[in-house]
Amino acid sequence: MHPEPFARLPTPPYYAVIFSAQRTDIDNGYGATAERMVELARLQPGFLGVESVRGEDGFGITVAYWDSEDAIRAWRQHAEHTAARERGRAEWYRHFELRIARVERAYGWDRGDQAAQVGG
């Protein structure tokens, strides 16, 4: 079993873009843009999956998974994504940290099947 909101990923290695951010109180289309960015990312070559959560205090972590650094670079250069990042700086975020990492090993566990899926 592999329930939402978990990303179903291949065996490592692959890449993770870890984005942690504190939101401002400004909405102004944030939700729709965030949804659109996920939808658009899913269409990009090399996109593997995404997991995302935001707490009530406005602090959130999104981890997007990609099959290569080239795929990450191409997504970074995507015009609509670039415009969204500019709005993020202008309006939506107080602070953010972005870390790009190479996933070496992965391990999953589910109460239902009690079977671990080990990768890498």
Binding site for its own copies (CB under 8 A): 1-3, 5-7, 9, 12, 16, 18, 20, 22, 24, 51-56, 59-61, 63, 89, 93-112
- How far apart (Å, rounded) are the C-alpha atoms in residues 89 and 5? 27
Q: Within a 10 A sphere around the Cβ of 75, how many other Cβ atoms?
A: 20
Give the nearest distance from C-beta 39 to its own copies in angstroms. 19
Query: Which residue, 42 or 99, is less far from its own copies as judged by CB?
Result: 99
In the bound state with its own copies, the residue whose beta carbon lies nearer, of 34 and 61, is 61
CB atoms within 10 A of CB 72: 20
- Taking the complex as a whole, the smallest distance from the CB of residue 80 to its own copies amounts, in Å, to 20
| Residue among 12 and 46 whose Cβ is closer to its own copies | 12
Place of tokens 């090399």: 46
Question: CB 111 → its own copies: shortest distance, Å?
Answer: 5
Cβ neighbors of 75 (< 8 A, separation 6 or more) are 41, 44, 47, 66, 81
